[in-house]
Amino acid sequence: MLKTAPILGLTSALATAFFFTQNTMAANYDLLIRNGTIYDGSGRAPVVGDVAINGDRIEAVGKLSDARGKTEIDAEGLAVAPGFINMLSWANESLIQDGRSQSDIRQGVTLEVMGEGESMGPLNDTMKKEMGEQQGDIKFDVKWTTLGEYLDYLVQGGVSCNVASFVGATTVRIHEIGYADRPPTSAELERMKKLVRQAMGEGALGVGSSLIYAPAFYAKTDELVALAKAASESGGMYISHIRSEGTRLLEAADELITISREAKVPAEFYHLKAAGQPSWSKLDGLIQKIEAARAAGLRITADMYTYTAGQTGLDAAMPPWVQEGGYKAWAERLKDPAIRERVKREMDTPTDQWENFFIASGSPDKILLIGFKNDKLKPLTGKTLAEVAKVRGTSPEETAMDLVIEDGSRVSTVYFLMSEDNVRKEVALPWVSFGSDAESLAPEGVFLKSNPHPRAYGNFARLLGKYVRDEKIIPLQEAIRRLSAQPAGNLKLDRRGALTPGYFADVVVFDPVKIQDHATYENPHRYSAGVLHVFVNGAQVLKNGEHTGAKPGRAVRGPGWKKAK
């Protein structure tokens, strides 16, 4: 419930009829959030008190009974917390289309962190052309070249959330050697390192990789170490969708730990998981390996999403060799009968040489097709690969190949891969943060032309509702720490992630009793409930559960940022 401050000429009874009040008395603060249960981000037990904001900063936290605010909110019975950090965001295009970031803002997310393997810069002319050609429902002009320019482009266009990014290891590889399956020459590697250093100077948080996909798959460990070293020179970190989350999970974890050790850089596992039922039992070994590395002094962390299915494309069901050269070369090869037969055979064959989601999912009826570029194929949205194959009278393997050719894309796909018991184990780990691995959307307009994974609308609310309140896997103060101060510290962000005087006023007010995700695989475009108010840099973007239209978001830069002189 919201309560007003006293207003001249109104009785207190009348004043309480208003949710918000502009206080005409002399005010100490621009905004005063009163009587909330304050979770400051530290993980300590909450306290009931007040949070005062002036401009874009938190001014005071505590018992401020004598203070007044130009605007006051009564947060009695509500949680008041630092804004949440989405450690793995794919909002890089959705924010161009709609800067309101509705599906995440309505869950309390105030910072979107992008750059899983691929980043929106640096680009060369060929990459800009490809980015234009590969666009799906969201259309935009590529008006930037560097990663820093992209972040500025978002902010200039208006965004309700803050934005940040890693520089993609795949992106700098494509920039210099395209889609070739070979190591870079020494000269090419030097240019790749130079691009990383440039991006770090523009505010990149470090280097991100995504090693199951071509052409990232072609990169060897020494190449990744070299790029991580370049990022570490200015305090950046290394973060990775590791080379295998299934058949070679532990070996892939060893690679990340090796990169951390050799590059002397903190490292994080993207979306911690054991994918595919035969690998579910490996999670305990992975956790032991990470905790041993942490005990040895390495700064190893992870993030996760709160679902048992992942989202990627049909490329994850096919061997990397057929994808060498990029999409056009891949699609052309899939038209060759001999190559199709080989691809089909390899899709059906267990292997530890590449990450085969066709096998890991267990069955084509656990492969859900959710996004098409070709309008003629959009009626297939929401159907399984098994269903489409049956209608077409072709095998699931042949159907997957045909869809890639017909759609002009890799086809957005959900794979059911993980166990619920393992999700619960991961939630309980103190060094794990959270990321949606999804866009930030709205149930309107162009976004309705495809189905997202429900995590785009529910990842953070699901954590706080299902796993914290209902299943009590971790206490609320611990969940908030891992949504705010912990990722902010890992990323070395400047004055973000805590309700501390002097910090930027990214604040979420929510009802712990009512917070709940509602998106499903069948009906994914459904907002979560329970978040009432969200402030970004002191400006209110969510009021009584509805978006205000405000777009105060900024580019949040990493530790190597060199301000323009």
- What tens digit of pLDDT does each residue of 40-81 get? 999 999 999 999 999 999 999 999 999 999 999 999 999 999
Helix-then-strand count for the chain, H and E = 19, 21
* Residues 235 and 339 both lie in one domain: no
**Before 215, cis peptide (omega within 30)?**
yes
Residues above pLDDT 70, as percent of the chain: 95
pTM beyond 0.85: yes
Q: What share of the chain is helix, strand, coil (3-state, %, to 5)?
A: 35, 20, 45
Distance CA 117, CA 310 (A): 16
Q: Is residue 197 part of a domain?
A: yes
Split into its structural domains, the chain has a count of 2
Tokens of residue 261, six digits: 């050790």
Residue type, 451: N
Tokens of residue 54, six digits: 């002036």
* Residues 236 and 368 both lie in one domain: no
Taking Cα atoms as reference points, which of 264, 207, 262 lies closest to residue 240? 207
Distance CA 34, CA 13 (A): 18
* Residues 114 and 202 both lie in one domain: yes
Residues 6 or more apart from 128 whose CB is under 8 A from it? Answer: 142, 145
Element (H, E) at 208: strand 206-210
| Main-chain dihedrals φ then ψ at residue 559, nearest 5 degrees | -70, -15
Range of the domain at 403: 312-416
| Main-chain dihedrals φ then ψ at residue 109, nearest 5 degrees | -80, 125
* Residues 324 and 194 both lie in one domain: no
Element (H, E) at 538: none
Q: What is the CATH number of the domain that holds 161?
A: 3.20.20.140
Task: State the pLDDT at residue 13.
Answer: 31
- The one-character DSSP state at 229 is H
Taking Cα atoms as reference points, which of 467, 448, 442, 465 lies closest to residue 527? 442
CB 335 within 8 A of CB 466: no
* Residues 361 and 290 both lie in one domain: no
* Residues 367 and 270 both lie in one domain: no
- Strand 539-543 relative to strand 167-168, pairing: unpaired
Distance CA 552, CA 549 (A): 10
- The one-character DSSP state at 336 is S
Distance CA 27, CA 21 (A): 12
Q: Is residue 463 part of a domain?
A: yes
Task: State the pLDDT at residue 308.
Answer: 98
Q: Is residue 429 part of a domain?
A: yes
* Residues 337 and 479 both lie in one domain: no
Per-chain mean pLDDT for the chain:
95
Q: For the purposes of burial, counting CB atoms within 10 Å of the CB of 125, is it exposed (0-12), middle (13-18) or buried (19 or more)?
A: exposed
Task: State the pLDDT at residue 2.
Answer: 37
Distance CA 511, CA 78 (A): 5
Alpha helices in 296-350 (DSSP H): 327-333, 337-347
Q: Is residue 225 part of a domain?
A: yes
Beta partners for residue 164, in sequence order: 113
Q: Is residue 365 part of a domain?
A: yes
Residues 6 or more apart from 353 whose CB is under 8 A from it? Answer: 319
* Strand residues in 411-517 grouped as ranges (E): 412-416, 432-434, 507-510
432, 467, 492 - which closes a domain: 492
Q: For the purposes of burial, counting CB atoms within 10 Å of the CB of 564, is it exposed (0-12), middle (13-18) or buried (19 or more)?
A: exposed
* Residues 247 and 374 both lie in one domain: no
Task: Write the pLDDT tens digit of every residue in 389-402.
Answer: 999 999 999 999 99
Q: Is residue 238 part of a domain?
A: yes
Taking Cα atoms as reference points, which of 60, 127, 117, 114 lies closest to residue 87? 114
429, 464, 492 - which closes a domain: 492
CB 17 within 8 A of CB 473: no
* Residues 305 and 404 both lie in one domain: no
* Residues 115 and 210 both lie in one domain: yes
492, 524, 547 - which closes a domain: 492
Tokens of residue 380, six digits: 């297939």
Question: What Cα–Cα distance (Å) separates residue 312 from each residue in 239, 357, 362, 417?
Answer: 18, 10, 16, 12
Q: Which residues of the chain have pLDDT under 50?
A: 1-24, 565
Task: State the pLDDT at residue 25.
Answer: 53
